């Protein structure tokens, strides 16, 4: 069937009068409608970057009294000043919403993931929900930057306390905090940094959690040790300041080399699998640089963390942090996290599933509500992503290969996007002003978003069917679903397997909505629902046709995880990676996206960066690179007894709120402290010990 639209346009031109667009033709691409205004509550108090923290020696240091009494005086621990770096990281009081804190109490998290083990650097999850964020200290830190004006900022120092660029901008010398120790008392130094770089990021057989590869830090980037507290980056481009963001959480959080190296295949008889699984969830007291150490694990029940006696951060009075003695991670579901937080059985939640909005708002509005709930900007979004690899990533069978060829066909992608009734999808999650039409591409909540550069193909089922026909698909056996052309996959019905994360009601709701709407288009979609860990493994190995995935930092902040915006390297894209050959078979418009991303990360000119992102948005949405479903605001829910929670903290921007609220500075006033500690006055034991000391 010829394309009705081209007939229409030809006819229009022939008549040389402007005939009204006949509604049988695909409606013209436009820009997304202006979303309902959603007033983010809790205005952010913007501050200067250097008002948050600094590194300096203080005249005296303090610790909880029981640590001195039970551990230092008993000779089990050195005095606190010997447990701290020469110049510890000092959080400035002026940036603390409620000032200097007091010791005591617990923060009770609820998480929907489950720990695979403690080997973060080899790709094991600890169950998400803030547990890995708390354990992993990284070279720089970006989450707290939500309170710093975007234009003139750069990542905060963390394990890297300072850095200097060479005159030509191709080298970056990074100075590490000196004299900091792992939670087992072993010194932290450049050997930890180099083990992570050489034997995890650069080892092709190891994939760290959150997916850092060499390209994450720039194509061709190298890193070398200068001395125990100095490392030197070398970049192809000049002054690629962007990469400092990639040296924050998710992508540069070194593990304890003294524990990991002996298990690595390069230094042992272990296989890579044995290395990855060398620290199962039952292995307690895994040395960390984070503020709390795992001391108890009860499967499907709880993980308990106790304060790290060697933590290398203090407040301006010299009080060693953290203020909170204990952290719980109750092993439940993501939906239950919301319920427990508003009920006061848990202490924290990122309200990110619209199905829970109304009930949570109601409970939080009650006068005696135990928790504070505050919505932020529209930064939670979902995309339908299509596997674009036609050269073997994930080893597809004939049917799977045929689907990937279709995914690479722009008429096919236009058919899919135009068959989506995004208003209905949003309303199926929650009614009201929350959800917005989201065509895909950058999130409307990021400062790089430009609505006029966003191409939106409006809902138009008839037009979508015309595009599907243009892609060469017809229902040859009259059962309502289009078939492959004869000779392809046996001419059978096109059947697309869509990968979904079963851990979230929202992911499942959206998936069901997509299945129903694709059926009206004549496409048969089959769901493959897996838990988060299995979903991630299946996705990263390329074993999927389509997948529904909640947006990550590259679409909500652009400057974090930037290389995930396009297939910059063999393993940087969410839906287009290389097979063993190492080659990504880029489509022409993908090459343009890759060029834009590479230019963006190596540009320090804010106007040029903004214009590059407008180009990115135009090309990616015009060519339907990813297919947006919906976007909406999230709300932070925190129990009212906690102090030092920055007002207006977004649940997600450079990172999740578990990072942004800076938990090591959070405290509970003495008169509000609850007795939730399960191991009062106990400290972590030695690596591998069964429990606390």
Least separation in angstroms between residue 131's CB and ligand BQZ is: 8
CB of 473 to Ca ion, least distance (A): 9
Binding partner of residue 128 among Ca ion, ligand BQZ, none, CB under 5 to 8 Å per kind? Answer: ligand BQZ
Token duo for residue 271: 């296989």
Q: Minimum distance from CB of 550 to ligand BQZ (Å)?
A: 6
Is residue 352 part of the contact set for ligand BQZ (CB under 6 A)?
A: yes
| Interface pick for ligand BQZ out of 283, 334, 574, 625 (rule CB under 6 A) | 334
Phi-psi label, residue 150: left if phi above 0, alpha if psi -120 to 50, beta otherwise: alpha
Least separation in angstroms between residue 2's CB and Ca ion is 21
If the CB atoms of residues 130 and 463 are measured against ligand BQZ, the closer one turns out to be 130
The residue within the footprint of ligand BQZ, chosen from 35, 85, 129, 134 (CB under 6 A), is 129
Of 137 and 552, nearer to ligand BQZ (C-beta) is 552
Could you give the CA distance from residue 174 to residue 160 in angstroms, rounded to a whole number? 6
Using left for φ > 0, alpha for ψ between -120 and 50, and beta otherwise, residue 493 falls in: beta
Is 208 a residue that touches ligand BQZ (CB under 6 A)? no
Minimum distance, C-beta of residue 371 to ligand BQZ, in the bound complex (Å)? 15
Long-range contacts of 201-205 (CB under 8 A, 24+ apart): 203/266, 205/265, 205/272
Q: Tell me if 569 contacts ligand BQZ by CB under 6 A.
A: no
* Residue with smaller CB distance to ligand BQZ, 310 or 382: 382
Q: How many helices (H) and strands (E) does the chain have?
A: 20, 23
Residue 579, classed as helix, strand or coil, is coil
The radius of gyration of the chain's CA atoms, rounded to the nearest angstrom, is 26
What does the alpha-carbon distance between residue 165 and residue 302 come to, in Å, rounded to a whole number?
45
The nearer residue to ligand BQZ, 62 or 543, going by C-beta atoms, is 543
Question: Minimum distance from CB of 612 to ligand BQZ (Å)?
Answer: 25
362 C-beta neighbours (distance < 10 Å), count: 11
Q: Which of 536, 545, 585, 592 binds ligand BQZ (CB under 6 A)?
A: 536
Partner in contact with 442, chosen from ligand BQZ, Ca ion, none, beta carbon below 5 to 8 Å by kind: none
Q: Which residue, 374 or 683, is less far from ligand BQZ as judged by CB?
A: 374
Q: Considering the complex, what minimum distance in angstroms separates the CB of residue 402 from Ca ion?
A: 15
Partner from ligand BQZ, Ca ion, none contacting 622, C-beta within 5 to 8 A by type: none
In contact, 253 and 211? CB cutoff 8 Å: no
Closest approach of Ca ion to the CB of residue 384, in Å: 22
CB 658 to ligand BQZ: min, Å = 6
Residue 129: contacted member of ligand BQZ, Ca ion, none (CB under 5 to 8 Å, by partner type): ligand BQZ
Query: For ligand BQZ, which stretch binds (CB under 6 A), given 14-22, 129-137, 391-399, 588-596?
Result: 129-137
> Residue 165 carries which DSSP code?
E
Binder of residue 334, out of Ca ion, ligand BQZ, none (CB less than 5 to 8 A by kind):
ligand BQZ
Which residues of this chain interact with Ca ion, rule CB under 5 A?
A: 475, 477, 479, 481, 483, 493
- Judged by CB under 6 A, the chain residues 47 through 106 that form the site for ligand BQZ are none
Q: Assess 350 for contact with ligand BQZ (CB under 6 A).
A: yes
- Give the x/- contact pattern for ligand BQZ in 290-329, rule: CB under 6 A: ----------------------------------------
What number of chain residues touch ligand BQZ (CB under 6 A)? 12
- Name the minimum Å distance from CB 478 to Ca ion: 7
| Residue nearer to Ca ion on the CB measure, 483 or 598 | 483
Q: Read off φ and ψ for residue 118, nearest 5 degrees.
A: -100, 10
Residue 483 touches which of ligand BQZ, Ca ion, none (Cβ within 5-8 Å per kind):
Ca ion
Residue whose pair of structure tokens reads 């990991």 in the numeric block: 260
Are 546 and 496 a contacting pair, CB within 8 Å? yes
Q: Is 338 an interacting residue with respect to ligand BQZ (CB under 6 A)?
A: no
CB of residue 662 to ligand BQZ, shortest distance in Å: 15
48 token code pair: 């200067």
Out of 25, 91, 128, 197, which residue is the one contacting ligand BQZ (CB under 6 A)? 128
d(Cα 331, Cα 327) in Å, to the nearest integer?
Answer: 13
Q: Tell me if 532 contacts ligand BQZ by CB under 6 A.
A: yes
Rule CB under 6 A: choose which of 130, 254, 290, 569 binds ligand BQZ.
Answer: 130
- Write down the least CB distance from residue 475 to Ca ion, Å: 4
The long-range contacts involving 200-206, CB below 8 angstroms and separated by at least 24 positions, are 200/121, 200/122, 200/255, 203/266, 205/265, 205/272, 206/121, 206/122, 206/123, 206/272, 206/275, 206/276
- Asked whether position 211 contacts ligand BQZ by CB under 6 A, the answer is no
Contact string 540-559 vs ligand BQZ (x = CB under 6 A): ------------x-------
CB of 535 to ligand BQZ, least distance (A): 7
User: What are the b/e assignments for 475-491, b being 16+ CB within 10 Å?
Assistant: eeeeeebbbbeeebbee
The label of the residue with tokens 């015309």 reads 466
- How far apart are alpha carbons 594 and 435 in whole angstroms? 30
Between the alpha carbon of residue 459 and those of residues 158, 334, 401, 462, 465, the distances in Å are 47, 32, 28, 9, 12
Q: Which stretch binds ligand BQZ (CB under 6 A): 4-12, 123-131, 398-406, 462-470?
A: 123-131
The helix (run of H) or strand (run of E) holding residue 553 is helix 553-556
Q: In whole angstroms, give the CA distance from residue 426 to residue 571.
A: 31
Alpha-helical segments (H) within 253-344: 257-260, 272-276, 334-343
Structure tokens at 40: 């983010």
**Among Ca ion, ligand BQZ, none, what binds residue 477 when CB lies within 5 to 8 Å by partner kind?**
Ca ion
Taking CB under 6 A as the rule, does residue 656 contact ligand BQZ? yes
- Indicate which of ligand BQZ, Ca ion, none lies near residue 512 (CB less than 5 to 8 Å, by partner kind): none
Of how many residues is the chain composed? 693
Query: Nearest approach, Cβ of 290 to ligand BQZ (angstroms)?
Result: 14
Cβ-Cβ contacts under 8 Å for 35 (sequence gap 6 or more): 378, 436, 437, 444
Using alpha carbons, select from 302, 273, 250, 291 the residue that is nearest to residue 109.
302
Computed from CA positions of residues 414, 415, 416, 420, in that sequence, does the dihedral angle turn out positive or negative? positive
Binding positions for ligand BQZ, rule: CB under 6 A: 128-130, 133, 334, 350, 352, 532, 536, 552, 656, 658
């Amino acid at each position: 069937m010829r394309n009705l639209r081209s007939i229409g346009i030809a006819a229009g031109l022939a008549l040389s009068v402007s005939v009204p667009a006949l509604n049988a033709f695909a409606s013209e691409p436009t820009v997304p409608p202006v979303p309902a205004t959603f007033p983010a509550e809790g205005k952010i108090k913007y501050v200067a970057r250097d008002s948050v923290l600094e590194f300096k020696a203080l005249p005296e240091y303090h610790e909880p009294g029981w640590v001195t009494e039970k551990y230092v005086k008993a000779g089990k621990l050195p005095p606190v000043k010997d447990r701290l770096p020469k110049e510890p990281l000092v959080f400035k009081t002026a940036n603390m919403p409620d000032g200097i804190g007091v010791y005591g109490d617990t923060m009770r998290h609820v998480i929907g993931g489950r720990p695979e083990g403690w080997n973060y650097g080899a790709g094991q999850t600890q169950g998400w929900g803030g547990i890995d964020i708390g354990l992993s200290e990284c070279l720089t830190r970006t989450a707290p930057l939500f309170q710093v004006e975007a234009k003139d900022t750069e990542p905060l120092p963390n394990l890297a306390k300072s850095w200097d660029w060479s005159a030509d901008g191709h080298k970056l010398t990074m100075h590490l905090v000196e004299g900091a120790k792992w939670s087992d008392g072993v010194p932290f130094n450049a050997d930890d940094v180099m083990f992570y770089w050489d034997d995890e990021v650069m080892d092709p057989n190891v994939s760290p959690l959150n997916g850092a590869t060499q390209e994450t830090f720039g194509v061709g980037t190298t890193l070398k040790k200068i001395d125990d507290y100095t490392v030197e980056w070398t970049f192809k481009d000049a002054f690629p300041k962007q990469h400092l963001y990639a040296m924050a959480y998710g992508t540069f959080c070194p593990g304890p080399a003294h524990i990991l190296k002996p298990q690595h295949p390069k230094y042992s008889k272990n296989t890579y699998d044995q290395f990855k699984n060398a620290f199962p969830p039952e292995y307690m007291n895994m040395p960390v640089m984070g503020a709390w150490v795992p001391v108890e694990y009860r499967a499907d029940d709880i993980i308990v963390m106790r304060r790290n006696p060697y933590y290398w951060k203090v407040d301006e009075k010299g009080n060693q942090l953290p203020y909170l003695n204990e952290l719980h991670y109750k092993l439940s579901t993501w939906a239950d996290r919301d319920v427990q937080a508003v009920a006061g059985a848990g202490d924290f939640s990122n309200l990110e599933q619209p199905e829970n909005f109304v009930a949570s708002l109601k409970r939080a509005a009650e006068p005696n509500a135990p928790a504070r709930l505050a919505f932020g900007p529209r930064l939670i979004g979902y995309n339908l992503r299509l596997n674009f690899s036609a050269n073997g990533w994930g080893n597809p069978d004939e049917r799977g290969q045929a689907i990937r060829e279709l995914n690479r066909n722009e008429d096919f992608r236009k058919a899919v996007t135009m068959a989506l009734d995004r208003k209905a999808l949003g309303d199926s999650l929650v009614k009201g002003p929350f959800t917005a039409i989201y065509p895909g591409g950058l999130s409307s909540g990021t400062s790089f978003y430009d609505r006029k550069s966003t191409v939106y193909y409006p809902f138009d089922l008839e037009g979508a069917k015309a595009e599907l026909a243009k892609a060469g698909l017809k229902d040859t056996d009259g059962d309502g679903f289009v078939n492959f052309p004869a000779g392809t996959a046996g001419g059978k019905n096109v059947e697309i397997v869509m990968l979904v994360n079963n851990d979230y009601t929202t992911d499942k709701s959206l998936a069901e909505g997509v299945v129903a709407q694709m059926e009206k288009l004549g496409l048969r979609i089959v769901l493959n629902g897996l838990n988060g860990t299995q979903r991630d493994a299946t996705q990263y190995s390329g074993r999927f046709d389509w997948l529904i995935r909640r947006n990550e930092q590259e679409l909500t902040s652009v400057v974090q995880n930037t290389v995930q915006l396009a297939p910059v390297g063999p393993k940087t894209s969410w839906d287009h990676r290389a097979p063993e050959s190492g080659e990504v078979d880029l489509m022409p418009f993908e090459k343009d996206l890759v060029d834009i991303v590479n230019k963006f990360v190596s540009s320090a000119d804010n106007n040029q960066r903004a214009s590059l992102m407008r180009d990115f948005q135009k090309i990616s949405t015009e060519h339907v690179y990813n297919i947006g479903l919906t976007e909406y605001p999230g709300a932070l829910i925190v129990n009212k007894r906690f102090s030092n929670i920055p007002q207006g903290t977004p649940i997600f921007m450079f990172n999740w709120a578990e990072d942004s609220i800076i938990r090591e500075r959070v405290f509970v006033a003495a008169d509000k402290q609850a007795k939730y500690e399960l191991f009062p006055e106990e400290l972590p034991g030695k690596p591998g010990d069964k429990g606390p000391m």
